Structures are given as C-alpha cells and as structure tokens.
A and B are shown apart, each in its own frame.
Chain A
Amino acid sequence: MLVRETGVTLLSISLAFGIGCIILWAGGYSIPAVFANLWKGAFGNKISIGQTLTQATPIIFTSLSFLIAFRCGLFNIGAEGQMYMGAMAAAVVGIYVKLPGVLHVLICLLAAGAVGAAWGWIPGYLKAKRGVNEFVTTMMLSSVAVYFTDLLVAPRMFLHDTRYGSNQTVRVLGTAVLPKLLRPTQVTWAIIIAGCVVLLVWYYLFRTRSGYELRAVGQSPSAAEYGGISVKRKIILSMCLAGFVAGLAGAGEVLGTHTRFISGFSPGYGWDGIAGGLIARAHPVGVLFSAFLMGALRAGSMQVQRSGAAPGDIASVLQGLVIFFVIAPTLIRRLIRWRRR
C-alpha cells in the first residue's frame, strides 16, 4: 500500500514537471538551464542544501498543521496567520522574559504554540458550535493576523525597533536564540525540533486514544458519535493543535533564522504547508518528504531567478501542478491502466 502511494506521488511529480517543461518551452526558456539551476540552487553545494533545509523547516510545521486539521475533516488554510501570531509570541517572550538558556527557548516555543493554538481555537470553536465554514474563517483570520502583527511592530508602536525603518522588533536575547547547526549555512536547531514534532504528531495520531478519536471524527463523525466520542470537542482540539504547530513554525523563524520578528518574514510558508500536507497524502512522515521538496523548490527557484534562465516563479507553478496531480487518485490510476494496455 505504502509503495503504491509513493509511486502515485512520484508519478504525479513527474507529470507536473513534464507540464512545467511545456510551459518553459512555450516561453522560450532553456529547459536544461532551468533544471540545472534548480538543482544547483537546491542541492548544488553545502550552502544550497542549507538553503533547502532552512526553507523546508517552517514548511514541515505548517504542513503538519494542515494535516492535523485535515485528519479531523477540517481545512485549516490559516496556518500562515497562526504562524505569525506564534512568531510574535516567541519574539515577545524572547525579548522581555529573562530565563537561562534551554529553558528560555522552551518557554518561547510553548508561548508560540499557545498563541498559535488560541488563533486556531477561534475558527475551531465557530465550526463546532455554530457550524461556520472553517476555510473561510481561517483564511480571514490569517489576513487579520498578518496585519495585526505588522501593526505591532510599526513605527511608534511599543515593539518597534527604533534603530531601523522597517517594521520589526529588536533582536531576541541570546538565551532564546536557536543555535546554528551546519555552519556556514543558516540551518538551525529548528529543523531538529521540526523532525521531533513530526514523530510526535505521528505518535499522537496513530498510537494514542485521542488521536484515534480525532481520526474517527475525520472519517465518520456519525460513527464517532456512536462510539461515544465528542465530535465538537475533537474539532476544537484539532484546530488548537493545528494552530499550535503552526505557531511553532513562527517560533522557529523568529528564534532561529532571523533572531527577531520581522513583519512579512514569510514568503508564504503557510500556503506551502497546504501543498505539503496534500502532497504528503496527510501522512506525518510523508511531510518530511513533501516539505523537503517544497524547500528544494524554493531554494532552487532563487538560483533560477539569479541565473536569469527563467523567472524563479516557475517553481511555484511546478508546485501547483504537482498538487493537481496528487489530489486526483483516479486520474493517476487511469493513466497507469492506460499505460499498461
């Protein structure tokens, strides 16, 4: 089963890349040049790999965020906003609370998760108690979060770093910083934390009672109710957990990559998380692969842009195409059958 699923995913990726080639060709771009630079930017040298991993790290978290909600039958497309809220919380605790080393980082992470969870709670509650569509509310709250955090670090606001013009905070205290792992790359301990969270999420979903109940609600709310499970509570719980994990994404960026909160720091990691969750077929371990793929695409696209071989955004197009093929299981199956004849 697992082999077949992986095969379907790989086939989807190939198809997507195939169509991407057609688009490049239509635009008069050199396909070999584009792919060479894509590869170079993603895996070419240590710096590139570091870039891939750095980009992949927050996407691991946001993919897990989408996945947890998805497993409960919900569509959390607000990971971007939950991430921003978490990032802000991490920055505040990182700047103003004085604690020794590891403890400080831990508290920052918890704060980020908690605030992210709170931001996820709102749409969760509305869905459970009032039946409000969560993809509209998560989307709306995402925009609100981005504007809100931007406001908090704007000039004349309390958190703004007056030394600079741009909307950002001062640097967090040294005790809150996540140290770098692979010098001279930007990779920090955040990726290790991300990997641990992947395992935790897997364990939660497939080896605990609560995770079992959550999945049951996602597959069949009526059967879950019959089994004595509170559907409403699970909906709220799943959105809180989703928000928590997305908040951690923000913490990773603030404590690791940037060491401060910078408005607009995310080039769309939240949205990549949706792609990552879908491509991973909603399986936690698959997220490692899909987030890595997204990170590679992002890193590669930067190199493609630099080299001038084509607009770097071809990577975004590729990403969109991959998703399209991955989500249509019958399409792939039909193609395989058609091939076999």
Chain B
Amino acid sequence: MNIFTIHLLLRTLRLSSPIALIALGETYSERVGIINVGVEGTAVLGALVSALVSFYTGNAWIAVVAAVIGGGLAGALHALWCIQFRANHVVSGVAVNILVAGLALFITSALWGSRGTSASAPTINAWYIAGSALVIVILSQIFIFRTKWGLRLRVVGEKPEAADTAGINVHRTQYIYTIVNGMLCGLAGAYFFNNLGYFVNGMVGGRGFIGIAAMVIGNYSPIGALGAALLFGFADALQMSLQGYIPSQISLMLPYLLTVLVLAVLIKRAQVPAALGQHYVKQ
C-alpha cells in the first residue's frame, strides 16, 4: 500500500461521513413517511451556524452543538409545513433549500461583508464528526430494526392507520424523526465547516442530494446508507486526488456523474415505505 492509496482510503472515510449522516437522516424521515429534499439546505444551514457560532464564541464544540440544533429547527419547520399545513413534501424541501441559500448569502454579507464567504473561525478536528457518524449509523441500525421505537416508526411510514389504531401518535412520530433528520444534517454541515475552517457558498455542493441517492441505493437501512455513502465518498476522494492530472472540471463532475450512473444501474423497485409522501389525517 503506497502513500497515495492510504491517503485515498482515509479521504474516502472522511468524505463519506457527511453523506452517510445525511443519508441516515433521510432514512429516518422517509421511514416515517416524510420526504425531505431540504437536506441540502439543512446541511448548508448547519455549516453556516457552525461558522457563525464558532466565530462569535470562539468555541468550536459549542458550534457543533449549535449546528445540530439549527438543523433540528430546519427539520421542524419542514415537518410543520408538511404535517400541519399539508404542503407537498418535495416542494417544501425545495423551499427550505431556496430559503437557506438566500439566508446564507444575506448573513455572510451582513456579518462579514463578503457575499457567500465567512471569516475563518476555530474548528475541531473533522475526524471527530466522521467517527461519530459511524457510531450513530451502527446504533441506528439496532434502533430501527431491533427496538420497539424502531418498530413503531417503521409502521408509521408503512401504514399510519395501523399505527394510529395501535395507539401510536402518528404525527408526533413524524415530527420527531424529521427533526432527527434535520439534526443529522446539521451535524453533516458542521463537518463541512470544520473540514475547511470557514463557510463558503457551495461548500455542500449537492452532497445533500447525493445523500438522498445513497439512502435509496442503501435501501432505507442505516448500514445500507453507509455502504452507499462510502461509494460516493470514494468518488469524492478520487476527484480530489485526480486534480492536477486532469482538467478540474472533469474531476469535479465525477461525483455527480457517478451518482446518476449508480442510480441508473443499481436501482431496484425496492423497499420504499408504503405511505411515503402521504398526508395522514387522523380524526
């Protein structure tokens, strides 16, 4: 194993972690029936909040916590829109992305005078977040398939009526796990910030969507999401290693092209939760 390969491997593990977190988050929310394409914007929000809080408090750990909370709030907003106001799930997610994009530009301009870029701020080692991603994924696999809460959340996404008549509060479950989704995306955003040291527009760069693709390929399970995330993380890592050898545009294109190809080839009409995207009305 030469130094190039080791670097590639380490990079793969690191770069997969935000994708894995996002894919896991989306797994939670889609398993309770809520589609959330706003994961991209939520991750951006996480990164922005990290930069903000780290800049003003000087404490990068608190910044991580703030990012998670911020992500959770975004998740709550999306959940509110979908559940209470019956917005179309995908449309609401798109709205989150647009709103966060605007907010990011505005806040960076307002606070640092530079459109889309923040000042540098203290960071923690991004490996902490990458490591915690692995732990969270494993715990989630046990949680979803081996505990009673996992059983209940799965039923909510498959057949909310069955959950309701069994005495489970469908809407509350949906709120909870969409907020969990937001929190995980916020954590992913914190990764992006801590990896770079400042916030810049485009730092998430579509990885929210790649996370959704990873969830689909991973067949709605945490371990599957992790596996798919590793694949995409590898593409990301490869792209970085290839820079300088091939035109940057081509290497930058790679992760996106790969996502399309993988989806085109590997997709199976599989385990989509039966009640995904529906607005459940209880009496």
Direct contact, A vs B (beta carbon within 8 Å): yes
Contact in complex: A330, B249 (CB < 8 Å): no
- CB-CB nearest in chain A for B247: A151
Contact in complex: B263, A137 (CB < 8 Å): yes
Q: B62-86: contact bitstring with A at CB < 8 Å (1 yes, 0 no)?
A: 0000000000000000000100111
B59: min CB distance to chain A, Å: 23
Contact in complex: B86, A135 (CB < 8 Å): no
Contact in complex: B106, A311 (CB < 8 Å): yes
A270: min CB distance to chain B, Å: 12
**B16 at interface by CB-CB < 8 Å:** no
Segment 6-39 of A: residues with Cβ below 8 Å from B: 23, 27
Contact in complex: A274, B209 (CB < 8 Å): no
Contact in complex: A147, B249 (CB < 8 Å): yes
**A133 at interface by CB-CB < 8 Å:** yes
Which B residues lie within 8 Å of A330 (CB)? 84-86
Q: Which of B37, B213, B256, B263 has the most CB of A within 10 A?
A: B256
- Contact (A133, B105) CB under 8 Å given A75-B94, A139-B209, A323-B95: no
B residues near A (Cβ < 8 Å) are 37, 81, 84-88, 90-92, 94-95, 98-103, 105-106, 109-110, 115, 205-206, 209-210, 212-213, 216, 247, 249-250, 252-253, 256-257, 259-260, 263-264, 267, 269
B27: min CB distance to chain A, Å: 15
Measured CA separation A126–B259 after assembly (Å): 13
A33: min CB distance to chain B, Å: 14
**A313 at interface by CB-CB < 8 Å:** yes
Contact in complex: B252, A147 (CB < 8 Å): yes
- Contact (A310, B110) CB under 8 Å given A139-B209, A147-B252: yes
B77: min CB distance to chain A, Å: 8
Measured CA separation A314–B108 after assembly (Å): 11
- Contact (A327, B99) CB under 8 Å given A75-B94, A311-B109: no
Contact in complex: A271, B101 (CB < 8 Å): yes
**A43 at interface by CB-CB < 8 Å:** no
**A140 at interface by CB-CB < 8 Å:** yes
- Contact (A311, B264) CB under 8 Å given A136-B213, A319-B98, A324-B99: no
- CB-CB nearest in chain A for B265: A130
Partner of A278, one of B91, B100, B263, B267: B91
Measured CA separation A151–B254 after assembly (Å): 13
Closest 8 CB pairs of A and B: A316-B102, A320-B99, A311-B109, A313-B105, A328-B85, A151-B249, A313-B106, A140-B256
Please list 5 pairs of residues, one from A and one from B, whose beta carbons are closer than 8 Å in the complex, sorted by A's number: A132-B264, A143-B253, A311-B115, A320-B98, A328-B85
Contact in complex: A320, B95 (CB < 8 Å): yes
Measured CA separation A140–B207 after assembly (Å): 10
Q: A119-154: contact bitstring with B at CB < 8 Å (1 yes, 0 no)?
A: 000100010001111011101110110011011001
Q: Is the interface of A mostly helix, strand, loop or mixed?
A: helix
Contact in complex: B81, A327 (CB < 8 Å): yes
**A198 at interface by CB-CB < 8 Å:** no
A residues near B (Cβ < 8 Å) are 23, 27, 75, 77, 122, 126, 130-133, 135-137, 139-141, 143-144, 147-148, 150-151, 154, 271, 274-275, 278, 310-321, 323-324, 327-331, 334
Contact in complex: A140, B257 (CB < 8 Å): yes
Measured CA separation A314–B213 after assembly (Å): 32
Contact in complex: B103, A140 (CB < 8 Å): no
Contact in complex: A144, B253 (CB < 8 Å): yes
Contact in complex: B95, A136 (CB < 8 Å): no
- CB-CB nearest in chain A for B85: A328
- CB-CB nearest in chain B for A156: B247
- CB-CB nearest in chain B for A139: B209
Contact in complex: B102, A27 (CB < 8 Å): no
Contact in complex: A316, B106 (CB < 8 Å): yes
Contact in complex: A150, B263 (CB < 8 Å): no
Contact in complex: B267, A320 (CB < 8 Å): no
Contact in complex: A140, B109 (CB < 8 Å): no
Contact in complex: B102, A313 (CB < 8 Å): yes
Contact in complex: A132, B90 (CB < 8 Å): no
- CB-CB nearest in chain B for A315: B102
Contact in complex: B260, A131 (CB < 8 Å): no
A148: min CB distance to chain B, Å: 7
Which A residues lie within 8 Å of B263 (CB)? 126, 130, 132-133, 136-137
Q: Which of B95, B105, B110, B247 has the most CB of A within 10 A?
A: B95
Which B residues lie within 8 Å of A327 (CB)? 81, 87-88, 91-92, 95
Contact in complex: B103, A320 (CB < 8 Å): yes
Measured CA separation A328–B88 after assembly (Å): 8
Contact in complex: A130, B264 (CB < 8 Å): yes
Which A residues lie within 8 Å of B247 (CB)? 151, 154
Contact in complex: B98, A323 (CB < 8 Å): yes
Contact in complex: B86, A329 (CB < 8 Å): yes
Partner of B105, one of A75, A271, A316: A316
B266: min CB distance to chain A, Å: 10
Which A residues lie within 8 Å of B84 (CB)? 330-331
- CB-CB nearest in chain B for A143: B256
- CB-CB nearest in chain B for A16: B99
- Contact (A274, B98) CB under 8 Å given A147-B253, A154-B247: yes
Which B residues lie within 8 Å of A75 (CB)? 90, 94
- Contact (A320, B264) CB under 8 Å given A139-B206, A151-B250: no
Contact in complex: A77, B94 (CB < 8 Å): yes
Knowing that A27-B110, A154-B249, A329-B85 touch, tell me 8 more A-B residue pairs with CB under 8 angstroms.
Answer: A130-B263, A133-B216, A140-B259, A143-B206, A278-B91, A315-B102, A320-B99, A327-B92
Which B residues lie within 8 Å of A319 (CB)? 98, 102
Q: Which of A132, A139, A144 has the most CB of B within 10 A?
A: A139
Measured CA separation A39–B126 after assembly (Å): 45
Contact in complex: B81, A324 (CB < 8 Å): yes
Q: Which of A23, A126, A328 has the most CB of B within 10 A?
A: A328
